[in-house]
Structure 1
Amino acid sequence: MSLLSDLVNFNLSECTDKIIAEYIWIGGSGIDIRSKARSLPGPVSDLSKLPKWNYDGSSTGQAPGEDSEVIIYPQAIFKDPFRRGNNILVLCDCYTPSGDPIPTNKRYNAAKIFDHPDLQAEEPWYGIEQEYALLQKNVKWPLGWPLGGYPGPQGPYYCGVGADKAFGRDIVDAHYKACLYAGINITGVNGEVMPGQWEFQVGPSVGIAASDEVWIARYILERITEIAGVVLSFDPVPIQGDWNGAGAHTNYRKKAKDTSRTGGQLRTWTRTLLHP
């Protein structure tokens, strides 16, 4: 295990100019996150220097088996908090080999709207509040809950402190710091109403960068819970009964005072991007 840990934390810059780029995209369900890694000859900070790549869409619910190739286009670069150094996370969206966006590529049309000059003049600011639950791996029951039973009623858990109120704070804090390292504009975290439930906030971020940052923050959280052996749930109703649900609340502010038709489209696409 010591050797494995040494290799995982090995600083590649000591022996090679090559870096690892983790290409990340949204799968066929609209909420599942997929990724795979590739080597690049050196550090990259310019999107135009990143190659397109491909994957088997029949394995993600995004293409038929007889014509399964999907092409991923890099759209945003973040620092990799897991491999560190010059290694990067690359958020991508998905296209057919002929260059058409596949049906699950919601970012394509959203980007066209965000690029509209009228919307750029409005300077749309977003603050996203992402709630989630942490579940025990083998039983899919919230972290900190007695197996087959329930904790005390809601009340003391929201922003709570203490071993009997806050479950999974180490995961939450690791995620917070990893997002800051990656360059995500994460602005805070807090315990939520249901025990084992937490929230992080991203923003204010301008335009489509807000959804890009939220998706990468979700990816980083998935990776951290993977390491911790805990299951991450964005289920809006993770537990039936008198327990708090989860969502991604969207706060929106624009510079212009009028409400244009394009602005209405903007809000619609924001909801689509964040709440499939």
Structure 2
Amino acid sequence: MTIALNRVEDRISEVVATLKAQGIKQVRFEFSDLHGVSRSKLVPIDAVEGFSRQGLNFYGGMMGLDTGSQIVAETKLHEEMNYRDGVLIPDFDTLMPIPWLDGHARVICDYEWKQGDVMASYPRYVYKRVLQKAAEMGFDVMMGIELEFYLLDGKTRQPVFSGVHCFNTLRNQYVPIIDELLNHLLECGIDLIDHGCEYGPGQMEINYGPAVGMKAADKAFMFKQIVKEVCQRAGYLATFMSRPFSDQTGCGSHVHVCLLDKDSDRNIFLDLDDTNGLSATAKSFIQGILHYGDSIMPLIAPTPNCYRRYLPPTFVSIYRGWGIQDRTGMVRVKASHDENTHIEMRAASSISNPYLSAAATVAAGLLGIQHDMELQPPIEGKGLYGDRNLPQLPQTLDAALTAMGTNTELTELLGEEFVRVFTAVKQAELNRCKAHVTDWEKNEYMEIY
């Protein structure tokens, strides 16, 4: 089943008629919370038109909940707002079937206080702000987001296979759920490129094509939800947690991006007169990411667990460096000397919200262009953890939040209200984390001391 209709007010009746003709009985009105988790309400088909025109009421404080869905008072989105509702406005460009639920479809929604009154802390809106800034500078953003995850047994929460089997053919389709998942992704319109097991036991990576503008982040958001939902229904747990096992590699989210000329669709990053085929704009974009790397860390590594991902064994660097086809830096440059030339920002964790990791990457790059930043020399030498004369990324969420909070340029671009709400939520999570006594502490100290 294919669903492809635009979000246009005078076409809502046509959308609903098409859905009915396709046998759709229920439509999931879906959106991303602050953490990239899907939240939704299910709407019977006969009610879809009314809610599409008026908006579907939904508690307005959702962006003020932490990862445990606990209310964070400091966000000022709860009691201060009298616990008021917002509304969900469906974006029918994102409409897709739910093939494992007969007669169901889903649509990503904009989340507003009321129609036309945007919710500044909504991640999709934050990325929209950044895309608008890019458009003002004459650019469209082409992006693809890779997302690694672990496939675990739903009861034991252990990997479906053990050992390290990077791209081992016998592990790529180790259990039937993998084939089922790939088929459902295709049925949902996710344009798969390749699939294979990753480095860790039970670790997977399924890649799909890039897209321009909001479609790239929407695709990543839906991809994560589809993977988790399909696997859960089959008795498995798919986790995008940054470092679920202390003795195994973490899960990264690699953000591939280039800028296109808005008028010609030409890849702005390509310059065949340059030795590496990189334009001056591309170099400034890369330097922007490196320069603002510490400030964007809370958005690309948003939990305390994320910072365990930068410890061995892993394939991610703690350095704000770059290189041509170099996996040891924050930015890996895919210098193909053709229209496929782009950069890969490798520091993000899979647990990060795709809208926010996209916003952070592009915002930092645009600031680099605005300031005409000169690209620093590439990484030299070997190894991820050697003695390098390069600035390091923050090693804790505390330090990362401090860096973001003092960066006025980034705050202005992302929105002051968003940064305030995001910081309050993350600080509340940190406070809960610090107050928790871990099993390691009990095992280490309780008996001996």
Question: Which TM class, normalised by the smaller chain length?
Answer: 0.7 to 0.9
State the distance in 1 between where 2:239 and 2:134 align: 37
Q: Which amino acid aligns with 2:217?
A: S
Where 2:196 maps in the other structure, the secondary structure is: strand
Aligned to 2:90: 74
- 1:17 CA drift (Å): 6.3
- 1:90 CA drift (Å): 0.5
- 1:69 CA drift (Å): 2.1
Q: How does 1:112-261 map to 2 (within 5 A)?
A: 112-116=129-133, 118=135, 121-144=138-161, 151-152=162-163, 154=164, 157-162=165-170, 165-166=171-172, 169-241=175-247, 243-254=248-259, 255-257=267-269, 258-259=280-281
Q: 1:52 to 1:262 in 2, by over 3 A?
A: farther
Q: 1:43 to 1:230 in 2, by over 3 A?
A: same
Where 2:155 maps in the other structure, the secondary structure is: coil
- Work out whether residues 148 and 205 of structure 2, in 8 Å CA contact, stay in contact via their aligned partners in 1: yes
Work out whether 1:40 is the aligned partner of 2:45: yes
Q: 1:35 to 1:219 in 2, by over 3 A?
A: same
Q: 1:225 to 1:168 in 2, by over 3 A?
A: farther
- After superposition, the C-alpha distances for 1:168-205 in whole angstroms (9 at most, x for unaligned) are 54223222222221122332221111111101113221
Q: 1:50 to 1:189 in 2, by over 3 A?
A: farther
- 1:71 CA drift (Å): 2.0
Higher fraction of helix: 2
- 1:236 CA drift (Å): 1.1
Most deviating of 69-78 and 202-211: 69-78
- Work out whether residues 158 and 194 of structure 1, in 8 Å CA contact, stay in contact via their aligned partners in 2: yes
State the distance in 1 between where 2:123 and 2:195 align: 27
Q: 1:74 to 1:43 in 2, by over 3 A?
A: closer
Aligned to 2:57: 54
State the distance in 2 between where 1:50 and 1:122 align: 32
Q: TM-score, normalised by structure 2?
A: 0.47
- 1:237 CA drift (Å): 0.7
State the distance in 2 between where 1:158 and 1:221 align: 20
State the distance in 2 between where 1:245 and 1:43 align: 41
State the distance in 2 between where 1:252 and 1:89 align: 27
State the distance in 2 between where 1:19 and 1:119 align: 41
Q: 1:159 to 1:118 in 2, by over 3 A?
A: same
State the distance in 2 between where 1:68 and 1:136 align: 40
Higher fraction of strand: 1
Where 2:190 maps in the other structure, the secondary structure is: coil
Aligned to 1:5: none
Q: Which amino acid aligns with 1:67?
A: Y
Q: Which amino acid aligns with 1:64?
A: H
State the distance in 2 between where 1:209 and 1:59 align: 23
Q: Percent identity?
A: 20
- 1:238 CA drift (Å): 1.3
Please identify the structure whose Cα radius of gyration is greater: 2
List alignment gaps of at least 5 residues for structure 2: 1-18, 66-70, 72-76, 260-266, 270-279, 301-347, 358-449
Most deviating of 59-68 and 222-231: 59-68
Aligned CA RMSD, in angstroms, stands at 3.7
State the distance in 2 between where 1:177 and 1:94 align: 30
State the distance in 2 between where 1:222 and 1:50 align: 31
Aligned length: 245
Work out whether 1:111 is the aligned partner of 2:128: yes
State the distance in 1 between where 2:137 and 2:185 align: 26
Q: TM-score, normalised by structure 1?
A: 0.72
State the distance in 1 between where 2:62 and 2:353 align: 22
State the distance in 2 between where 1:181 and 1:195 align: 28
Aligned to 1:7: none
- Work out whether residues 19 and 42 of structure 1, in 8 Å CA contact, stay in contact via their aligned partners in 2: no
- Work out whether residues 128 and 249 of structure 1, in 8 Å CA contact, stay in contact via their aligned partners in 2: yes
State the distance in 1 between where 2:24 and 2:172 align: 41
- Work out whether residues 27 and 48 of structure 2, in 8 Å CA contact, stay in contact via their aligned partners in 1: no
- After superposition, the C-alpha distances for 1:211-251 in whole angstroms (9 at most, x for unaligned) are 1001111111121012111112111111102x221011111
Where 2:222 maps in the other structure, the secondary structure is: helix
